[in-house]
A and B are shown apart, each in its own frame.
Chain A
Amino acid sequence: MMDRLAAFGRLGLAIIASLGRSGRFLAGVLGGVSKPSVAFPLLLKQLYSIGVLSLAIIVVSGLFIGMVLGLQGYTILSDYGSEAAIGQMIALTLVRELGPVVTALLFAGRAGSALTAEIGLMKTTEQLSSMEMMGVDPLRRVIAPRLWAGFIAVPILAAVFSVVGIWGGMLVGVEWLGVFEGSFWGNMQSSVSFTADVLNGVIKSVVFGFVCTWIAVYQGYDCVPTSAGISSATTKTVVYSSLAVLGLDFVLTAVMFGDF
């Protein structure tokens, strides 16, 4: 019994210590400001590798999810004779929920795991140490551009996801199943509010982008510098990011839309 209690206490302490380390790590990354002439090219490079290169998976997933929403929505709504509301349903589902959430989950799998593995490998091969010994702070040079790039890229990717999803829903609903195009777009336009829906979706994706990238770079930086350590850090990135996104989504939804 005492052993279990002690183990539980140890686990609690380890979690708190890890949270503390990640907080200090974040303060170190955000606290140091590099010269714009140095920081901007590094940021652009990262925006390309974690933002632009994630576009393919985001566009394809968005398209399929939009098409599935079109099909499912039509099946359910046509039972009530209200298939004309399909545009509104697809847009609200994507903008409020699926856009930010699925983008963040895909981002954690596609870019977050790559960030963790890259930084972890740089640590294992002493590249981060050698940078420190050259008088270059790896938090500013390596971590900060990646963190900012994720922070900027995820909301844009989520917007792309939603737009492509709505287009996919339109393809199925209007082009295939024959919903009147005017009511598809008209219902959407009249029911989707910019502040209540679009802006709240953007806020969600900003939060998810920040949390996912923070988890990814921290896990890489804090990993045990062995191959097993990198593998476990990469797994942790995907698991923690996914749980954090889903948990935070509930909290944010409750705050944003829970006012009945």
Chain B
Amino acid sequence: MDTSPYIELRDVVFTRGDRRIFDGVSLDIPRGKITAIMGPSGTGKTTLLRLIGGQLRPDSGTIRVAGEDVPRLKRKALYRLREKMGMLFQSGALFTDLSVFENVAFPLRVHTALPEDMIRDIVLMKLEAVGLRGARELMPAELSGGMTRRVALARSIALDPELIMYDEPFTGQDPIAMGVLIKLIRDLNSSMGLTSVMVSHDVQESLSICHYACIVADGQVIGDGSPEELRAHPSEQVQQFLHGHPDGPVPFHYPAAEAGQDWGIGGSSR
């Protein structure tokens, strides 16, 4: 079995406006495993997925997916590579004018010339895998948040991709929907031999299913390894994030002028 990493990032630098989002990030994402990328809000986790998917280009550094140098791919080759990728967006991003069935059938209709009865069978199989075969006639507006994500998941596995990326899959989900998603991510990864990348700040849920995790903060990878290795990580910043301490290397207070100056009295600086 091929043990080389499925995705390799080397010294990736990415700036948006005046803000440097990534300052030399290097990361290997192992093949066939679930990798969790965690970090505080606003550290560019979703941006990382968009860089991997070629929707954004880094200022410098290399990003290789399945051996292909994503930022240097021509448009056609990039779109061909994307057929091997599935992505579950935070909002689900279902096409609101199409039914559940048609949403899942969409990539099949665009990329294959399969006959209609075969498309129907595949769509129903994918919907069965996420437990929503019975919801095929519903429109996206009629679905709950959890169901929307499950349909989006069925759509992203319609073409049997090699890689699937989850953008904050657990955010805003009730405990049951969260349990369902955790089970689906784990089952799909093992049954389809997928490489899964999950961006999340739900620490416990992520660590419970991933094989490998890394924490991104301040434009850098501040810690990585297996869930056990991360829990025992010596970095204070990693421990603060994992345990959700309100104050620590990431300060409670946003940088501000001296308190006394703001209130017009003599006081200490923060």
Contact = CB atoms under 8 A, between A and B. Distances in A.
Interface of A: 38, 125-127, 129-130, 132-137, 141
Interface of B: 50, 53, 55, 75, 79-80, 82-83, 85-87, 89-91, 93-96, 106-107, 110-111, 152, 155-156, 159
A133 B87 contact: yes
16 contacts: A125-B91, A125-B96, A127-B96, A129-B50, A129-B55, A130-B89, A133-B53, A133-B82, A133-B87, A134-B83, A134-B106, A134-B110, A134-B159, A135-B107, A136-B79, A136-B107
A154 B75 CA distance: 32
A156 to B, nearest CB: 25
B195 to A, nearest CB: 15
Contacts of A137: 75, 79
A73 B80 CA distance: 63
B105 to A, nearest CB: 12
Nearest to A136: B110
A133 B91 contact: no
Contacts of B155: 134
B82 A134 contact: yes
A129 B110 contact: no
A133 B107 CA distance: 10
B96 A133 contact: no
Contacts of A134: 82-83, 106-107, 110-111, 155-156, 159
A136 B111 CA distance: 9
Contact of A135 (B50, B94, B96, B111): B111
A36 B159 CA distance: 23
B111 A125 contact: no
A136 to B, nearest CB: 5
A54 to B, nearest CB: 19
Contact of A127 (B53, B95, B107, B156): B95
